A = this chain, B = another copy of it.
Amino acid sequence: MGRLVMKFGGTSVADIDRIRNVACHVKREVDAGHEVAVVVSAMSGKTNELVGWCAQAAPLHDTREYDAVVASGEQVTAGLLAITLQAMGIQARSWQGWQVPILTSNVHGSARILDIDGEELIARFKERNEVAVIAGFQGLNKETGRITTLGRGGSDTSAVAVAAAIRADRCDIYTDVDGVYTTDPRVVPKARRLDKVAFEEMLELASLGAKVLQVRSVELGMVHNVRVFVRSSFDRPEDIDPHGTPPGTLICSEEEIVEQQVVTGIAFSKDEAQISIRDVQDKPGVAAAIFGPLAEASINVDMIVQNVSADGAKTDLTFTVPAADYTRAKDTIAKAKGKIGYQRLDSATDVAKVSVIGIGMRSHAGVAAEAFRALAERNINIRAITTSEIKFSVLIDAAYTELAVRTLHTLYGLDKA
Protein backbone atom coordinates (compact mmCIF):
# COMPACT_ATOMS: atom_id res chain seq x y z
CA MET A 1 0.00 0.00 0.00
CA GLY A 2 1.25 3.43 -0.92
CA ARG A 3 0.27 7.00 -1.49
CA LEU A 4 -0.19 8.29 -5.02
CA VAL A 5 -0.88 11.51 -6.88
CA MET A 6 -2.59 11.02 -10.25
CA LYS A 7 -2.67 13.94 -12.67
CA PHE A 8 -4.98 14.15 -15.69
CA GLY A 9 -4.83 16.84 -18.36
CA GLY A 10 -7.56 18.52 -20.38
CA THR A 11 -8.05 15.90 -23.08
CA SER A 12 -8.39 13.21 -20.39
CA VAL A 13 -11.35 15.06 -18.86
CA ALA A 14 -12.83 16.52 -22.05
CA ASP A 15 -16.36 15.24 -21.36
CA ILE A 16 -18.28 13.14 -18.86
CA ASP A 17 -17.36 9.88 -20.63
CA ARG A 18 -13.67 10.73 -20.42
CA ILE A 19 -14.08 11.78 -16.78
CA ARG A 20 -15.67 8.39 -16.12
CA ASN A 21 -12.62 6.76 -17.69
CA VAL A 22 -10.41 8.79 -15.34
CA ALA A 23 -12.55 7.66 -12.41
CA CYS A 24 -11.91 4.03 -13.45
CA HIS A 25 -8.17 4.68 -13.33
CA VAL A 26 -8.57 6.15 -9.85
CA LYS A 27 -10.77 3.27 -8.70
CA ARG A 28 -8.11 0.80 -9.82
CA GLU A 29 -5.55 2.44 -7.53
CA VAL A 30 -7.99 2.79 -4.63
CA ASP A 31 -8.98 -0.87 -4.96
CA ALA A 32 -5.29 -1.77 -4.88
CA GLY A 33 -5.15 -0.15 -1.45
CA HIS A 34 -3.50 3.15 -2.33
CA GLU A 35 -4.25 6.53 -0.81
CA VAL A 36 -4.94 8.78 -3.77
CA ALA A 37 -4.95 12.50 -4.54
CA VAL A 38 -6.04 13.39 -8.08
CA VAL A 39 -5.04 16.66 -9.75
CA VAL A 40 -7.11 17.73 -12.75
CA SER A 41 -6.95 20.31 -15.50
CA ALA A 42 -9.90 22.10 -17.12
CA MET A 43 -11.94 20.21 -19.70
CA SER A 44 -10.12 20.65 -23.00
CA GLY A 45 -11.11 23.84 -24.78
CA LYS A 46 -12.48 25.45 -21.61
CA THR A 47 -9.33 27.33 -20.68
CA ASN A 48 -9.06 28.72 -24.20
CA GLU A 49 -12.70 29.82 -24.05
CA LEU A 50 -12.15 31.61 -20.74
CA VAL A 51 -8.88 33.20 -21.87
CA GLY A 52 -10.63 34.32 -25.07
CA TRP A 53 -13.38 36.06 -23.13
CA CYS A 54 -10.83 37.93 -21.00
CA ALA A 55 -8.99 39.10 -24.12
CA GLN A 56 -12.29 40.12 -25.72
CA ALA A 57 -13.28 42.12 -22.63
CA ALA A 58 -9.94 43.97 -22.74
CA PRO A 59 -6.71 42.99 -24.54
CA LEU A 60 -4.71 44.23 -21.57
CA HIS A 61 -6.41 43.17 -18.37
CA ASP A 62 -5.92 42.83 -14.65
CA THR A 63 -4.26 39.44 -14.15
CA ARG A 64 -6.04 39.06 -10.80
CA GLU A 65 -9.37 39.07 -12.64
CA TYR A 66 -7.97 36.85 -15.38
CA ASP A 67 -7.01 34.34 -12.70
CA ALA A 68 -10.47 34.43 -11.11
CA VAL A 69 -12.07 33.74 -14.49
CA VAL A 70 -9.66 31.11 -15.78
CA ALA A 71 -9.35 29.11 -12.54
CA SER A 72 -13.04 28.25 -12.82
CA GLY A 73 -12.22 25.62 -15.44
CA GLU A 74 -10.35 23.33 -13.05
CA GLN A 75 -12.97 23.94 -10.35
CA VAL A 76 -15.63 22.44 -12.63
CA THR A 77 -13.58 19.34 -13.47
CA ALA A 78 -12.72 18.67 -9.83
CA GLY A 79 -16.40 18.74 -8.82
CA LEU A 80 -17.48 16.54 -11.73
CA LEU A 81 -14.78 13.96 -11.02
CA ALA A 82 -15.74 13.87 -7.33
CA ILE A 83 -19.37 13.24 -8.30
CA THR A 84 -18.32 10.50 -10.72
CA LEU A 85 -16.11 8.78 -8.14
CA GLN A 86 -18.89 8.91 -5.55
CA ALA A 87 -21.25 7.30 -8.07
CA MET A 88 -18.74 4.41 -8.25
CA GLY A 89 -18.90 4.04 -4.50
CA ILE A 90 -15.61 5.78 -3.79
CA GLN A 91 -15.35 8.40 -1.03
CA ALA A 92 -14.17 11.60 -2.70
CA ARG A 93 -14.27 15.35 -2.35
CA SER A 94 -13.12 18.23 -4.51
CA TRP A 95 -10.61 20.82 -3.34
CA GLN A 96 -10.03 24.17 -4.90
CA GLY A 97 -6.68 25.89 -4.59
CA TRP A 98 -7.93 28.25 -1.88
CA GLN A 99 -9.47 25.39 0.08
CA VAL A 100 -6.38 23.21 0.46
CA PRO A 101 -4.91 25.93 0.52
CA ILE A 102 -2.19 25.97 -2.12
CA LEU A 103 -0.40 29.18 -1.21
CA THR A 104 1.44 30.94 -4.01
CA SER A 105 3.40 34.06 -4.74
CA ASN A 106 1.48 37.15 -5.81
CA VAL A 107 2.52 37.03 -9.48
CA HIS A 108 -0.94 36.56 -10.93
CA GLY A 109 -1.06 34.60 -14.16
CA SER A 110 2.21 32.81 -13.47
CA ALA A 111 2.40 32.41 -9.71
CA ARG A 112 4.82 30.05 -7.99
CA ILE A 113 3.68 27.64 -5.32
CA LEU A 114 5.09 28.65 -1.93
CA ASP A 115 3.52 26.21 0.45
CA ILE A 116 0.92 23.45 0.64
CA ASP A 117 -0.25 22.06 3.93
CA GLY A 118 -1.00 18.43 3.15
CA GLU A 119 -1.92 17.35 6.66
CA GLU A 120 -5.71 17.62 6.29
CA LEU A 121 -5.58 15.66 3.06
CA ILE A 122 -3.53 12.97 4.79
CA ALA A 123 -5.89 12.92 7.79
CA ARG A 124 -8.80 12.36 5.45
CA PHE A 125 -7.01 9.46 3.74
CA LYS A 126 -6.71 7.85 7.14
CA GLU A 127 -10.06 8.74 8.71
CA ARG A 128 -12.43 8.55 5.76
CA ASN A 129 -10.52 6.65 3.10
CA GLU A 130 -11.33 9.69 0.95
CA VAL A 131 -9.85 10.51 -2.44
CA ALA A 132 -8.82 14.17 -2.70
CA VAL A 133 -9.72 15.66 -6.09
CA ILE A 134 -7.70 18.84 -6.43
CA ALA A 135 -8.15 21.59 -8.99
CA GLY A 136 -4.79 22.00 -10.70
CA PHE A 137 -3.21 25.17 -12.09
CA GLN A 138 -4.50 27.39 -9.27
CA GLY A 139 -3.66 28.66 -5.83
CA LEU A 140 -4.28 31.41 -3.34
CA ASN A 141 -2.33 34.65 -3.08
CA LYS A 142 -1.29 34.47 0.53
CA GLU A 143 -1.34 38.22 1.07
CA THR A 144 -4.55 39.27 -0.65
CA GLY A 145 -6.70 36.15 -0.44
CA ARG A 146 -7.26 36.20 -4.20
CA ILE A 147 -7.08 33.31 -6.65
CA THR A 148 -3.86 32.86 -8.60
CA THR A 149 -2.97 30.64 -11.53
CA LEU A 150 0.38 29.06 -12.27
CA GLY A 151 0.51 29.69 -16.02
CA ARG A 152 -0.06 27.24 -18.84
CA GLY A 153 0.76 23.64 -18.02
CA GLY A 154 0.62 24.54 -14.35
CA SER A 155 -1.37 21.46 -13.43
CA ASP A 156 1.77 19.34 -13.74
CA THR A 157 3.40 21.61 -11.21
CA SER A 158 0.34 21.43 -8.93
CA ALA A 159 0.52 17.65 -9.05
CA VAL A 160 4.20 17.44 -8.12
CA ALA A 161 3.79 20.07 -5.39
CA VAL A 162 0.83 18.17 -3.91
CA ALA A 163 2.85 14.96 -4.08
CA ALA A 164 5.63 16.63 -2.09
CA ALA A 165 3.14 18.04 0.43
CA ILE A 166 1.46 14.69 1.13
CA ARG A 167 4.76 12.78 0.89
CA ALA A 168 3.44 10.61 -1.96
CA ASP A 169 5.40 7.61 -3.10
CA ARG A 170 4.88 8.60 -6.73
CA CYS A 171 3.25 11.25 -8.89
CA ASP A 172 1.65 9.71 -11.99
CA ILE A 173 1.24 12.14 -14.88
CA TYR A 174 -1.26 10.75 -17.39
CA THR A 175 -0.53 12.29 -20.80
CA ASP A 176 -1.25 11.69 -24.45
CA VAL A 177 2.19 10.11 -24.87
CA ASP A 178 3.26 6.98 -23.03
CA GLY A 179 6.57 8.30 -21.77
CA VAL A 180 9.81 10.05 -22.60
CA TYR A 181 11.71 8.81 -25.66
CA THR A 182 15.40 8.78 -26.54
CA THR A 183 14.45 11.26 -29.26
CA ASP A 184 11.42 12.32 -31.26
CA PRO A 185 9.98 9.06 -32.68
CA ARG A 186 8.56 10.94 -35.65
CA VAL A 187 12.13 11.71 -36.75
CA VAL A 188 13.79 8.52 -35.62
CA PRO A 189 11.44 5.56 -35.84
CA LYS A 190 13.96 3.54 -33.84
CA ALA A 191 13.58 5.85 -30.83
CA ARG A 192 13.06 3.90 -27.60
CA ARG A 193 10.91 4.79 -24.60
CA LEU A 194 13.13 5.34 -21.58
CA ASP A 195 12.24 3.42 -18.43
CA LYS A 196 13.96 5.92 -16.19
CA VAL A 197 15.36 9.42 -16.62
CA ALA A 198 17.17 11.48 -14.01
CA PHE A 199 15.64 14.86 -13.13
CA GLU A 200 18.72 16.67 -14.44
CA GLU A 201 18.51 14.87 -17.75
CA MET A 202 14.81 15.59 -18.07
CA LEU A 203 15.53 19.30 -17.62
CA GLU A 204 18.20 19.22 -20.31
CA LEU A 205 16.00 17.24 -22.68
CA ALA A 206 14.06 20.52 -22.98
CA SER A 207 12.64 20.31 -26.48
CA LEU A 208 11.72 16.65 -26.02
CA GLY A 209 10.59 17.00 -22.46
CA ALA A 210 8.55 20.17 -22.80
CA LYS A 211 5.96 18.34 -24.85
CA VAL A 212 5.58 15.80 -22.06
CA LEU A 213 5.89 17.73 -18.82
CA GLN A 214 6.13 21.33 -17.69
CA VAL A 215 9.75 22.22 -16.86
CA ARG A 216 8.81 23.79 -13.53
CA SER A 217 7.26 20.51 -12.37
CA VAL A 218 10.53 18.68 -13.07
CA GLU A 219 12.48 21.27 -11.08
CA LEU A 220 10.05 20.87 -8.22
CA GLY A 221 10.30 17.08 -8.41
CA MET A 222 14.09 17.36 -8.27
CA VAL A 223 14.07 19.69 -5.26
CA HIS A 224 11.59 17.62 -3.26
CA ASN A 225 12.68 14.28 -4.70
CA VAL A 226 9.20 13.39 -5.95
CA ARG A 227 9.26 10.41 -8.28
CA VAL A 228 7.29 11.46 -11.37
CA PHE A 229 5.90 8.77 -13.63
CA VAL A 230 4.81 9.74 -17.14
CA ARG A 231 2.24 7.31 -18.55
CA SER A 232 -0.50 7.15 -21.15
CA SER A 233 -4.02 8.30 -20.43
CA PHE A 234 -5.21 6.15 -23.33
CA ASP A 235 -4.46 2.87 -21.59
CA ARG A 236 -7.78 1.25 -20.76
CA PRO A 237 -8.16 1.07 -16.98
CA GLU A 238 -9.35 -2.55 -17.16
CA ASP A 239 -6.21 -3.63 -19.01
CA ILE A 240 -3.84 -2.41 -16.31
CA ASP A 241 -2.53 -4.67 -13.58
CA PRO A 242 -2.34 -2.42 -10.51
CA HIS A 243 0.39 -4.62 -9.06
CA GLY A 244 2.42 -4.82 -12.27
CA THR A 245 4.79 -2.32 -13.88
CA PRO A 246 2.81 -0.17 -16.31
CA PRO A 247 4.49 1.22 -19.43
CA GLY A 248 5.85 4.72 -18.95
CA THR A 249 8.91 6.69 -17.93
CA LEU A 250 9.94 7.31 -14.35
CA ILE A 251 11.67 10.61 -13.70
CA CYS A 252 13.68 10.18 -10.54
CA SER A 253 16.93 10.91 -8.81
CA GLU A 254 20.01 9.45 -10.48
CA GLU A 255 20.70 7.21 -7.50
CA GLU A 256 17.61 5.22 -8.44
CA ILE A 257 18.94 4.57 -11.94
CA VAL A 258 21.13 1.51 -11.57
CA GLU A 259 22.21 0.83 -15.12
CA GLN A 260 23.06 4.33 -16.22
CA GLN A 261 23.60 4.80 -19.96
CA VAL A 262 26.28 7.26 -20.97
CA VAL A 263 23.83 9.03 -23.27
CA THR A 264 20.14 9.11 -22.44
CA GLY A 265 18.65 11.07 -25.31
CA ILE A 266 19.08 13.38 -28.27
CA ALA A 267 17.10 16.61 -28.34
CA PHE A 268 16.89 19.03 -31.21
CA SER A 269 15.32 22.30 -32.16
CA LYS A 270 14.92 23.94 -35.54
CA ASP A 271 13.39 26.99 -34.01
CA GLU A 272 16.77 28.74 -33.80
CA ALA A 273 18.52 31.68 -35.36
CA GLN A 274 22.22 32.40 -35.15
CA ILE A 275 23.82 35.81 -34.83
CA SER A 276 27.59 36.26 -35.04
CA ILE A 277 29.28 39.51 -34.13
CA ARG A 278 32.66 39.86 -35.82
CA ASP A 279 35.72 41.65 -34.55
CA VAL A 280 34.37 42.68 -31.17
CA GLN A 281 36.76 44.49 -28.82
CA ASP A 282 37.99 41.80 -26.42
CA LYS A 283 37.69 43.86 -23.25
CA PRO A 284 35.72 43.73 -19.99
CA GLY A 285 32.07 44.75 -20.26
CA VAL A 286 31.60 43.89 -23.91
CA ALA A 287 29.42 40.85 -23.17
CA ALA A 288 27.24 43.00 -20.94
CA ALA A 289 26.94 45.60 -23.71
CA ILE A 290 25.60 42.89 -26.02
CA PHE A 291 23.38 40.83 -23.76
CA GLY A 292 22.06 43.65 -21.58
CA PRO A 293 19.96 45.22 -24.38
CA LEU A 294 18.76 41.76 -25.49
CA ALA A 295 17.58 40.97 -21.96
CA GLU A 296 15.81 44.31 -21.73
CA ALA A 297 14.01 43.43 -24.96
CA SER A 298 12.96 40.12 -23.33
CA ILE A 299 14.82 38.11 -25.96
CA ASN A 300 15.82 34.71 -24.69
CA VAL A 301 19.43 34.00 -25.66
CA ASP A 302 20.30 30.30 -25.72
CA MET A 303 23.80 29.19 -26.88
CA ILE A 304 26.59 31.70 -26.37
CA VAL A 305 30.00 30.97 -27.89
CA GLN A 306 32.95 33.29 -27.49
CA ASN A 307 36.42 32.23 -28.43
CA VAL A 308 39.65 33.51 -26.96
CA SER A 309 41.08 35.98 -29.42
CA ALA A 310 44.39 35.19 -31.03
CA ASP A 311 45.90 38.60 -30.57
CA GLY A 312 44.08 39.60 -27.40
CA ALA A 313 42.40 42.54 -29.11
CA LYS A 314 39.48 41.34 -31.20
CA THR A 315 37.21 38.32 -31.02
CA ASP A 316 34.07 36.82 -32.59
CA LEU A 317 30.97 36.17 -30.54
CA THR A 318 28.11 33.90 -31.61
CA PHE A 319 24.74 33.33 -29.94
CA THR A 320 21.36 31.87 -30.81
CA VAL A 321 17.87 33.22 -30.23
CA PRO A 322 14.40 31.80 -30.98
CA ALA A 323 13.65 32.22 -34.70
CA ALA A 324 10.65 34.38 -33.79
CA ASP A 325 12.93 36.95 -32.14
CA TYR A 326 15.54 36.97 -34.92
CA THR A 327 14.73 40.35 -36.50
CA ARG A 328 14.23 42.08 -33.16
CA ALA A 329 17.53 40.67 -31.91
CA LYS A 330 19.43 41.88 -34.98
CA ASP A 331 17.90 45.37 -34.66
CA THR A 332 18.74 45.49 -30.96
CA ILE A 333 22.39 44.68 -31.63
CA ALA A 334 22.60 47.11 -34.55
CA LYS A 335 21.24 49.89 -32.33
CA ALA A 336 23.90 49.15 -29.70
CA LYS A 337 26.72 49.08 -32.26
CA GLY A 338 28.32 52.26 -30.90
CA LYS A 339 28.48 50.88 -27.40
CA ILE A 340 29.60 47.38 -28.37
CA GLY A 341 32.04 48.38 -31.10
CA TYR A 342 32.12 45.62 -33.72
CA GLN A 343 32.99 45.23 -37.37
CA ARG A 344 30.32 43.08 -38.92
CA LEU A 345 27.13 41.17 -38.10
CA ASP A 346 26.63 37.71 -39.68
CA SER A 347 23.42 35.83 -39.16
CA ALA A 348 21.49 32.78 -40.26
CA THR A 349 18.02 31.44 -39.66
CA ASP A 350 18.33 28.07 -41.34
CA VAL A 351 20.16 26.54 -38.40
CA ALA A 352 19.29 23.83 -35.88
CA LYS A 353 20.57 22.88 -32.46
CA VAL A 354 21.16 19.22 -31.69
CA SER A 355 21.86 18.27 -28.08
CA VAL A 356 23.18 15.04 -26.61
CA ILE A 357 22.17 14.48 -22.98
CA GLY A 358 23.36 11.97 -20.42
CA ILE A 359 24.37 11.97 -16.78
CA GLY A 360 26.94 9.33 -17.68
CA MET A 361 28.96 11.95 -19.53
CA ARG A 362 30.19 13.20 -16.18
CA SER A 363 32.33 10.11 -15.80
CA HIS A 364 33.01 9.29 -19.43
CA ALA A 365 35.54 11.25 -21.42
CA GLY A 366 35.45 11.58 -25.19
CA VAL A 367 31.69 11.36 -25.58
CA ALA A 368 31.52 14.61 -27.55
CA ALA A 369 34.58 13.75 -29.63
CA GLU A 370 32.82 10.64 -30.95
CA ALA A 371 29.94 12.83 -32.08
CA PHE A 372 32.16 15.30 -33.90
CA ARG A 373 33.84 12.47 -35.76
CA ALA A 374 30.53 10.83 -36.72
CA LEU A 375 29.07 14.12 -37.96
CA ALA A 376 32.23 14.86 -39.95
CA GLU A 377 31.95 11.47 -41.64
CA ARG A 378 28.47 12.52 -42.79
CA ASN A 379 29.87 15.83 -44.03
CA ILE A 380 27.80 17.76 -41.51
CA ASN A 381 29.47 21.05 -40.68
CA ILE A 382 29.40 22.18 -37.07
CA ARG A 383 28.85 25.94 -36.74
CA ALA A 384 29.20 26.20 -32.98
CA ILE A 385 29.60 23.98 -29.94
CA THR A 386 28.60 24.45 -26.29
CA THR A 387 28.98 21.98 -23.51
CA SER A 388 27.76 21.53 -19.96
CA GLU A 389 28.37 18.81 -17.42
CA ILE A 390 25.68 16.42 -18.73
CA LYS A 391 25.01 17.81 -22.19
CA PHE A 392 26.67 19.11 -25.31
CA SER A 393 25.02 20.92 -28.18
CA VAL A 394 26.06 21.57 -31.75
CA LEU A 395 24.67 24.18 -34.10
CA ILE A 396 24.36 22.88 -37.65
CA ASP A 397 22.60 23.71 -40.91
CA ALA A 398 18.91 22.95 -40.45
CA ALA A 399 18.81 20.74 -43.55
CA TYR A 400 21.01 18.16 -41.77
CA THR A 401 18.94 17.98 -38.58
CA GLU A 402 17.31 14.59 -39.14
CA LEU A 403 20.49 13.04 -40.48
CA ALA A 404 22.47 14.33 -37.50
CA VAL A 405 19.93 13.13 -34.95
CA ARG A 406 19.71 9.65 -36.52
CA THR A 407 23.48 9.40 -36.77
CA LEU A 408 24.00 10.29 -33.10
CA HIS A 409 21.09 8.08 -32.00
CA THR A 410 22.77 5.07 -33.59
CA LEU A 411 26.23 6.13 -32.46
CA TYR A 412 25.27 6.10 -28.79
CA GLY A 413 23.43 2.81 -28.97
CA LEU A 414 19.96 4.26 -28.47
CA ASP A 415 18.25 2.50 -31.39
CA LYS A 416 15.75 -0.10 -30.28
CA ALA A 417 16.51 -3.69 -31.13
Point out the residue from B20, B83, B98, B147 that lies within 8 Å of A65, measured CB to CB. Answer: B83
| Copies of the protein in its oligomer | 2
In the complex, are the beta carbons of B53 and A66 less than 8 A apart?
Answer: no
CB distance from A232 to the nearest CB of B (A): 24
Is A142 located at the chain interface by the 8 A CB criterion? no
Assess A57 versus B93: contact at CB under 8 Å? Given A62-B86, A65-B86, A82-B65: no
Is A337 located at the chain interface by the 8 A CB criterion? no
Chain B residue numbers with a CB within 8 Å of A83 are 54, 57-58, 61-62, 65-66, 69
Is A99 located at the chain interface by the 8 A CB criterion? yes
The CA-CA distance from A351 to B96 in the complex, in Å, is: 50
CB distance from A80 to the nearest CB of B (A): 5
Is A78 located at the chain interface by the 8 A CB criterion? yes
In the complex, are the beta carbons of A61 and B86 less than 8 A apart?
Answer: yes
Chain B residue numbers with a CB within 8 Å of A56 are 16
Chain B residue numbers with a CB within 8 Å of A98 are 98
Point out the residue from B69, B75, B99 that lies within 8 Å of A69, measured CB to CB. Answer: B75
In the complex, are the beta carbons of B69 and A76 less than 8 A apart?
Answer: yes
Assess A57 versus B94: contact at CB under 8 Å? Given A76-B50, A76-B69, A82-B62: no
Point out the residue from B53, B71, B79 that lies within 8 Å of A16, measured CB to CB. Answer: B53
In the complex, are the beta carbons of B78 and A68 less than 8 A apart?
Answer: yes
In the complex, are the beta carbons of B79 and A75 less than 8 A apart?
Answer: no
CB distance from A318 to the nearest CB of B (A): 44
Assess A66 versus B50: contact at CB under 8 Å? Given A57-B84, A61-B87, A87-B57: no
The CA-CA distance from A62 to B73 in the complex, in Å, is: 19
In the complex, are the beta carbons of A64 and B80 less than 8 A apart?
Answer: no
Chain B residue numbers with a CB within 8 Å of A58 are 83-84, 86-87
Chain B residue numbers with a CB within 8 Å of A26 are none
CB distance from A82 to the nearest CB of B (A): 5
CB distance from A132 to the nearest CB of B (A): 13
Chain B residue numbers with a CB within 8 Å of A147 are 96
Is A270 located at the chain interface by the 8 A CB criterion? no
Is A207 located at the chain interface by the 8 A CB criterion? no
Of A68, A71, A86, A96, which is in contact with the most chain B CB atoms at under 10 Å from its CB? A68
In the complex, are the beta carbons of A146 and B80 less than 8 A apart?
Answer: no
Is A205 located at the chain interface by the 8 A CB criterion? no
Chain B residue numbers with a CB within 8 Å of A72 are 72-73, 75-76
Is A19 located at the chain interface by the 8 A CB criterion? yes
CB distance from A102 to the nearest CB of B (A): 14
The CA-CA distance from A74 to B221 in the complex, in Å, is: 36
